[in-house]
Amino acid sequence: MSLYAQRGVSAQKEEVHAAIQHLDQGLYPNAFCKLYADFLGKDANYINIMHADGAGTKSILAYLYWKETGDTSIWKGIAQDAIAMNLDDLLCVGIYDQILFSSTIDRNKLLINGSVLQEVIQGTQSFFNELKTFGINIEFLGGETADVGDVVRTIAVNGTMTARWPKAKLITNDLIAPGQVIVGFSSYGQATYEQAYNSGLGSNGLTSARHDVLHHDYATKYPETFEPTLKNEVVYLGKNKMTDELNIDGFGKISIGKLLLSPTRTYAPLVKAILTDHFDAVKGMIHCSGGGQTKCMKYLPGPMRLVKDNFLPVPPIFKLIQENSGANTKEMYQVFNMGHRLEIFTEESSAQSLIDLAKTFNIEAQIIGRVTAAAQKELVLSGSFGQEIFTY
């Protein structure tokens, strides 16, 4: 059993998929998000969506960093994580504007004080204000903040997004087909709209990243940061402290804590530009979130093989995680994005225009793979690490 599973987490969410397999899959079963008929406007040319996601266990890393450094500003990043994990899912069905957001914050009031809540809530509005400068309008409708210390050990930050969108402007993944290429857009570096270097970690695999990288001293010092029934041998196995530093080429030394807590990059400014100027070129779009580089398999419209054999360079944060954990390549690529969190399926003739547009946002991009004919849904990951084959 993998360390990820021993910690009570599933990268593939098999039990969740089993629980929902008999539910209505919406109007477009292959779309990245579930889309419904226009219940709100009763217009056959529109859809409705309500989508929920959050920062996950990344909030525990913020808690550790805050307790160790006293820096409450780190919580603004958790607000961005909860938003970006929702918004970037919506981007993958073509939605980037006129969105409503409601937050859900559950906290243990004995450990999480009002200054933390203030940073999260004000950070939410601040991020929406930034997005508005790119023409991405999201209205913050408040939400629920609950003191539930008997349920939540520290804090959980989540949210829900709602939108109404024209069917003619949807990306449903139904057009993905053999002969196309896959363009990957980097999750790391510093986009023109980011304030600092982004490690690329995002908000997936943080349970693994936290326990594999951080020193066991944290288990004794902060027992509230992990499930007490976990075996000692899977809790905080790493060699690093939050304040240790890693040298990042071109950016100098950055603390391990800040690398782990890099706010999840939203691709919204880039995707809006792509969908405005190159809508017809986009045949499918995938957010490499839970499931990492295997996420794409779930949304294929039929039997075909995806071959990913030209990955972007693996960012330092993932190398650090693997060095600390000793995880094999298969587990790393199933849990983490490993360098790109957005994939667009397109014709080879259209790929360069998307890559060039990404460069204007200082986001590295390249053709990372292709779609070929096959008798079943299949994924082949290939690189210096060898080859891994997955079927769906």
For residue 333, is it within any domain?
yes
Token pair 């779930």 is found at 298
For residue 86, what is the domain's CATH number? 3.30.1330.10
For residue 112, is it within any domain?
yes
For residue 379, is it within any domain?
yes
Cα 71 to Cα 131: distance, rounded to the nearest angstrom: 25
* 57-110 pLDDT per residue, tens: 999 999 999 999 999 999 999 999 999 999 999 999 999 999 999 999 999 999
3-state secondary structure of 347: coil
Query: How many residues can be counted in the chain?
Result: 392
For residue 98, is it within any domain?
yes
Cα 84 to Cα 90: distance, rounded to the nearest angstrom: 10
For residue 387, is it within any domain?
yes
Q: Please answer whether residues 29 and 298 qualify as being in contact, where contact means their C-beta atoms are separated by less than 8 angstroms.
A: no
Q: Please answer whether residues 296 and 288 qualify as being in contact, where contact means their C-beta atoms are separated by less than 8 angstroms.
A: yes
Residue 187: name the closest of 94, 314, 24, 83 by CA: 314
Alpha helices, DSSP H only, in 206-281?
206-213, 217-221, 256-260, 268-277
* 255-279 pLDDT per residue, tens: 999 999 999 999 999 999 999 999 9
In the prediction, which pLDDT does 249 show?
96
Domain count, the chain: 1
For residue 177, is it within any domain?
yes
pTM: 0.94
In the prediction, which pLDDT does 11 show?
53
Residue 88: name the closest of 147, 26, 212, 171 by CA: 171
Q: Which domain holds residue 133?
A: 3-196+262-391
For residue 306, is it within any domain?
yes
In the prediction, which pLDDT does 1 show?
54
Q: Which residues of the chain have pLDDT under 50?
A: none
For residue 106, is it within any domain?
yes
